[in-house]
């Protein structure tokens, strides 16, 4: 057990980097829009399939493939907002209605991808499998190091945006007190749009990274989103830094868990953590009570 | 053709049980329960394992399915008693995932991803229900008994307390009602009925696998209850007929098999989104989700 410990932690950090991207987007969307965006998983899958289609089927260069994949992810996320969430919000639908609509969106897109690409697993096969580097007793490939680097860089960028940029600060102001934000003349709707673009962009990156490292299948977005969501709960749903930390925690705990249990129980480990947090610490590590419990 | 029609009607009757029992929690008591299908899976598996692995008669397997589901409903309710809103929705959805993961991974008991096949058709004291019309009769009896029981319950004192809890829990508490207790009772009843539906399903199809409780199926059942209008049993009946039979029309378009499945799911999710957008109170509409 001890000799595989570094490897398990390394694996946890790698997947945790992806969870953190999803969770950061999820938290950003939740704190700005005040409802859970289940369609988030669709943006992940859209990014991954767009990459597969452009890179592997159409043989486009990697740079344009990545741009198209990101655009696809942003488009799917933004469409969820424009076509479904925004009209619902205008009718003053409750957060629960938005959540159910989001599940509908998720299933809709998941099946759209099944219809377009089939249920079989697609391999992007762009980066040849190389021998990994050994770092502190764990074998890590260059791609995996790249994944962690990309994730950390983007999350740092998100942090700079939220805390240093004028628009980011306004977005946090809306998250903090929407009524007050409107009173001082902030156009909330503009920032709803912006939050969906940024959140879906991060989801698209997560989809691309997973597509490059593993493979592409229709249910990937749902799975990743669930894990990203649990990460967000661990950190406190409305807190972006909390979501990032939660992502890494979940990644490591899951991988340590697989060290003891059969790998099929990975999902169960994640949900056990979810239940523990929901029951004992529903506000998460950094959460603030913000109407998340319906009050 | 006739066999095909009977099969659809049997499935319709089974899904009617699932939908009206969900209405008891989601509609009457306002508990946003997204894990209802977990009970369907539990009922189906308990009944299948009891009758196939342990050779129990259908009657006992059926009762076991109901009571075990009710027990799980109690456990779920104890776990989520402090939650409401988004968090409640997620915890119940999580319950669904937990059931799914257990069904997939507890190989020795549930057969893993392959599931259980060759589940015996029911028999009562020597009367074997083997043909489809006989099964239709059985499911119709069970389904209508449950439907009318729940319809009666909704109008009874118990139903009124549930509605009070849904509309204003604080006020109900102030009137001295034990709101948690009635919610637990509603959840256990709802779980038991859903387990019964699972048992009927398992012995009818004679083959079950974990996909019974996948998230995609949650959409199916939610679209029934929301189309019918929550807390509206008549609406649920009509919505079940619509939602179950609508995708069957796809068969007549002669689409390739691989396209029918995803199209069916896309139709359900579209219906769900469209109702939420344009008719949030459902067909007849009394209560809005909140």
Q: Is residue B140 part of a domain?
A: yes
- The candidate with the shortest Cα–Cα distance to B28, out of B146, B156, B197, is B156
Q: Which chain A residue shows the shortest CA-CA distance from B269?
A: A104
Q: Is residue B244 part of a domain?
A: no
pLDDT per residue rounded down to tens, chain B (290 residues) = 788 889 889 999 999 999 999 988 888 888 888 999 999 999 999 999 999 888 888 889 999 999 999 999 999 998 888 787 778 888 888 888 889 888 988 888 888 888 898 888 888 777 788 888 888 999 999 999 999 999 999 889 988 888 888 888 888 888 888 888 999 999 999 999 999 999 999 999 989 999 888 877 888 888 898 888 887 888 889 999 988 888 777 777 777 877 888 888 898 899 999 999 988 888 876 777 76
Domain containing B104 equals 2-212
Task: Summarize chain A as % helix, strand, coil (round to 5).
Answer: 75, 5, 20
CA–CA separation, B188 and B200 (whole Å)? 18
Q: Do A88 and B277 touch (CB under 8 A)?
A: yes
Q: Do B84 and A295 touch (CB under 8 A)?
A: yes
* Residue B69 vs residues A245, B32, B192: alpha-carbon distances, Å: 37, 18, 5
Distance (Å) from the C-alpha of residue B154 to the closest C-alpha of chain A? Answer: 23
Distance (Å) from the C-alpha of residue B104 to the closest C-alpha of chain A? Answer: 8
Domains of chain A, residue spans: 2-280
Domain A2-280: which CATH number of 2.60.40, 3.10.50, 1.10.3470, 1.10.760: 1.10.3470
State whether residue B274 sits within 8 Å of chain A by CB: no
Q: Do B258 and A271 touch (CB under 8 A)?
A: no
Q: Do A264 and B90 touch (CB under 8 A)?
A: no
pTM value is 0.89
State whether residue B94 sits within 8 Å of chain A by CB: yes
CA–CA separation, A200 and A215 (whole Å)? 20
| Chain A to chain B Cβ contacts (< 8 Å) | 144
- Contact list, A36 vs chain B (CB under 8 Å): 86, 89-90
pLDDT band at A291 (very low <50, low <70, confident <90, very high): very low
Q: Which residues contact residue A119 at a Cβ distance below 8 angstroms, ignoring those fewer than 6 apart?
A: A217, A218, B258
CA–CA separation, B191 and A40 (whole Å)? 30
Provide ipTM, 2 decimals: 0.86
The number of domains in chain B is 1
Q: Is residue B170 part of a domain?
A: yes
Which of B25, B107, B108, B266 should be substituted to probe chain A, the one whose Cβ sees the most A Cβ atoms within 10 Å?
B266
């Amino acid at each position: 057990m001890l000799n595989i410990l570094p490897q398990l932690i390394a694996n946890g950090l790698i997947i945790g980097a992806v969870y953190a991207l999803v969770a950061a987007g999820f938290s950003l969307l939740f704190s700005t829009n005040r409802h859970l965006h289940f369609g988030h998983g669709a943006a992940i899958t859209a990014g991954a399939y767009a990459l597969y289609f452009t890179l592997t089927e159409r043989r486009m260069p990697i740079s344009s493939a990545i741009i198209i994949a990101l655009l696809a992810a942003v488009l799917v996320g933004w469409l969820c907002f424009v076509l479904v969430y925004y009209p619902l919000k205008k009718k003053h639908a409750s957060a629960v209605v938005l959540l159910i609509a989001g599940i509908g969106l998720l299933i809709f897109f998941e099946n759209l991808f099944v219809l377009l690409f089939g249920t079989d697993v697609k391999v992007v096969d762009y980066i040849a499998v190389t021998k990994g580097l050994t770092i502190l007793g764990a074998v890590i490939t260059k791609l995996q190091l790249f994944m962690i680097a990309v994730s950390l860089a983007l999350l740092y960028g998100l942090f700079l945006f939220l805390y240093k940029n004028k628009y980011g600060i306004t977005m946090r102001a809306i998250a903090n007190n929407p009524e007050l934000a409107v009173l001082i003349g902030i156009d909330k709707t503009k920032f709803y749009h912006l939050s969906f673009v940024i959140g879906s962009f991060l989801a698209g990156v997560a989809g691309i990274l997973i597509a490059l490292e593993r493979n592409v299948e229709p249910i990937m977005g749902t799975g990743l989103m669930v894990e990203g969501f649990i990460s967000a709960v661990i950190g406190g749903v409305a807190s972006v830094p909390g979501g990032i930390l939660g992502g890494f925690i979940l990644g490591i705990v899951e991988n340590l868990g697989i060290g003891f249990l059969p790998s099929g129980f990975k999902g169960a480990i994640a949900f056990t953590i979810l239940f523990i947090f929901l029951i004992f610490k529903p506000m998460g590590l950094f959460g603030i009570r913000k109407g998340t419990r319906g009050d | 053709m006739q066999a095909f029609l009977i099969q659809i009607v049997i499935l319709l009757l089974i899904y009617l049980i699932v939908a009206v029992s969900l209405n008891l929690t989601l509609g009457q008591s306002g508990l946003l329960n997204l894990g209802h299908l977990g009970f369907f899976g539990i009922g189906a598996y308990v009944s299948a394992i009891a009758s196939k692995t342990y050779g129990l008669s259908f009657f006992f397997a059926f009762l076991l399915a109901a009571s075990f589901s009710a027990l799980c409903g109690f456990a779920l309710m104890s776990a989520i008693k402090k939650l409401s809103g988004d968090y409640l929705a997620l915890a119940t959805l999580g319950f669904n995932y937990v059931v799914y993961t257990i069904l997939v991974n507890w190989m020795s008991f549930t057969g893993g991803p392959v599931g259980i096949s060759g589940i015996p058709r029911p028999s009562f004291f020597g009367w074997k229900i083997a043909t489809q019309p006989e099964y239709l009769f059985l499911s119709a009896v069970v389904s209508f008994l449950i439907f009318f029981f729940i319809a009666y319950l909704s109008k009874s004192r118990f139903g009124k307390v549930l509605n009070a809890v849904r509309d204003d829990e604080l006020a109900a508490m102030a009137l001295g009602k034990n709101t948690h207790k009635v919610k637990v009772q509603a959840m256990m009843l709802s779980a038991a009925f859903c387990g019964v539906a699972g048992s009927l399903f398992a012995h009818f199809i004679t083959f079950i696998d974990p996909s019974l409780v996948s998230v995609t199926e949650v959409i199916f059942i939610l679209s029934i209850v929301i189309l019918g209008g929550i807390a509206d049993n008549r609406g649920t009946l009509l919505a079940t007929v619509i939602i179950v039979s609508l995708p069957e029309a796809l068969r007549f378009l002669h689409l390739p098999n691989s396209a029918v499945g995803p199209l069916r799911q896309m139709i359900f999710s579209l219906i769900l989104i469209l109702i939420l957008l344009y008719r949030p109170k459902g067909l007849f509409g009394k209560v809005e989700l909140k």
